[in-house]
Amino acid sequence: MKKGWESLKMTFAIYSRIPVFQVNWEQADQSYLMCFFPLIGSVIGAATLGVYQLGRYVLHQETGITAYACTVLLVLLPLWITGGIHMDGFMDTLDALGSCRPKEEKLEILKDVHTGAFAVLGCAGYLLLYTGIYSCLTWESVTLVSAGFILSRTLSGLSVVTFPMAREKGMLSSVAEKAKKRVVQRILLAVLLILCAGMVWLGKGAGILVILAAGITYWRYYRMCLRQFGGITGDLAGYFLQTCEIVMAGAAVLGSSIF
């Protein structure tokens, strides 16, 4: 139990900026680290629902705060909670993909601390598109978006214990190597099934559309990792998570307007 508690704290310490008590890194068991990863998504989802409801209340009070300001706050919220760790991987991956270099050189670009033009343009475009999508949110779609933060991390955790590694060294390789993959896979698959059932129950047709969008993104992510890099890295996992979340948000808004 104590090792599990330390692993939970380690997960939040690595993948979020949420304050946690001092982590005992020696006692923390990385075997089940990815099992706790979706919990960070639940925190982001709950915060998103709370801020959305608060924004609706503030707008009705005629305080002078605009809907655009509330939308920008919602867009930045996941970045604040995670510290931008996944956006960093997204930007590094854009630089690597934009280079059109061989696999080995792309992997070196992922490790480069410098930020290239593809990363800057991609990040700016991402945030602008996200803002546009979020400006169309309704209560029905924001509930699916909030659940999507859990879904993206569940799929990302599955990729860590399923996909081949592009490098033998690195934080993600260490997590994958120490993970009890069969057990983690079963736990995450159970979470995935329960989550998908809940999203269909909540959103009906829109929920199905969001799940399909996430599944297609996951499949394309797998193909990209193998073809472009020869496997998965931490940066590529961040790229997938950011891509999956914006695709699901778009699907939620579209689905809520159709169904």
Name the one residue in this structure whose structure tokens are 């940066």.
235
**154 inside domain:** yes
> Does any domain span residue 82?
yes
pLDDT of residue 32: 80
Which pLDDT does position 222 carry in this prediction?
96
Spatial separation of the C-alpha atoms in residues 181 and 224, rounded to whole Å: 22
Spatial separation of the C-alpha atoms in residues 126 and 22, rounded to whole Å: 34
State how far the alpha carbon of 44 is from the alpha carbons of 63, 122, 249, 251, in Å: 26, 23, 14, 19
Query: What's the CA dihedral at 200, 204, 205, 211 to 10 degrees?
Result: -20
Please give the Cα distance from 253 to 241 (Å, whole number): 18
pLDDT over threshold 70, residue 249: yes
- The amino acid present at 190, given as its one-letter code, is A
Tell me, what's the pLDDT at 244? 98
pLDDT at 60: 77
The answer on pLDDT for 240 being more than 70 is: yes
Q: In Å, how far from its chain's centre is CA 92?
A: 15
Q: Is residue 6 part of a domain?
A: no
Q: Say if 11 falls within a structural domain.
A: no
**pLDDT recorded at residue 155:** 98
Instruction: Give 161-188 pLDDT, tens digit per residue.
Output: 999 998 877 667 677 666 678 888 999 9
Does residue 51 or residue 111 have the better pLDDT? Answer: 51
Spatial separation of the C-alpha atoms in residues 217 and 127, rounded to whole Å: 19
Q: Tens digits of per-residue pLDDT, 79-123?
A: 999 999 999 999 999 999 998 888 888 999 998 888 899 999 999
**Residue 25 within any structural domain of the chain:** no
Does pLDDT of 1 surpass 70?
no
| pLDDT (average), residues 20-43 | 81
Q: Is residue 27 part of a domain?
A: no
Separation of alpha carbons 192 and 38, rounded Å: 10
pLDDT score recorded for residue 151: 98
First to last CA, the chain: 45
Q: Based on the structure, what is the number of domains in the chain?
A: 1
* Within a domain: 124: yes
Q: What is the pLDDT of residues 113-156, one digit of tens each?
A: 888 999 999 999 999 999 999 999 999 999 999 999 999 999 99
Q: Is the pLDDT of residue 68 over 80?
A: yes
Range of the domain at 204: 35-258
- For residues 140 and 203, is the Cβ–Cβ distance under 8 A? yes
Q: Answer whether residue 228 is part of any domain.
A: yes
Q: Is the pLDDT of residue 19 over 90?
A: no
Helix, strand or coil, per DSSP, at residue 232 = strand
pLDDT band at 210 (very low <50, low <70, confident <90, very high): very high
At 165 the three-state DSSP class reads strand
Query: Nearest CA to 199 among 141, 147, 155?
Result: 147
Percentage, residues of the chain above pLDDT 90:
68
Residue 194 has what pLDDT?
A: 97
